[in-house]
Amino acid sequence: MGAKVIGRISKTRVKEGSRVKAGDVLFELDVADQKSAIASAQARYAASVARSGAEHAQIREAQQQLVRDRKLVASGAEAPATAEDLAARVSALRATAHAASADAQAQKAEVMALSVGLGDLTISAPINGTW
């Protein structure tokens, strides 16, 4: 049985002739690159969450303005086109916010996948035996 990933051995836990049981750790691969990739993915996730929050804030602001504009249209103080344009902007902002939320979820999944991969850097004995 081999390693799932290629890497540099950072620790050897057994010596030639050692008796091992299934599951005993034999080697540990260097985790620096994987930890760096996880940190980068976490930063991208945080940025995606922030973008999503900003998009949702813009929606709330535009919706408040739309409510005010519709009142002005109803009173005859403003042309209907203004409120219609703002309603279209709210729809566009919702689409952008949905995309930002989806991007945040994708970034979160990447962090989780990379974190799982961290466990692949430990090589364990597949069976009992002598090394």
Which of helix, strand or coil describes residue 11? strand
Give yes or no for residue 2 having a pLDDT over 80.
no
Is residue 26 within 8 Å of residue 42, measured between CB atoms? Answer: no
Identify which of 14, 11, 36, 24 has the alpha carbon closest to the alpha carbon of residue 117. Answer: 36
pLDDT single digits (tens) 101-131? 999 999 999 999 999 988 888 888 889 988 7
Neighbouring CB atoms inside 10 A of 84's CB total 14
Mapped onto helix, strand or coil, the DSSP state of residue 126 is coil
Cα–Cα distance, 103 to 97 (Å, whole number): 10
Residues 24, 14: contact at Cβ < 8 Å?
yes
Name the packing angle between helices 32-75 and 80-119 (round to 10°).
170
pLDDT score for 117: 87
- Per-residue pLDDT tens digits for 26-63: 989 999 999 999 999 999 999 999 999 999 999 999 99
Cβ(3)–Cβ(120) below 8 Å? yes
**Segment 65-104, tens digit of pLDDT:** 999 999 999 999 999 999 999 999 999 999 999 999 999 9
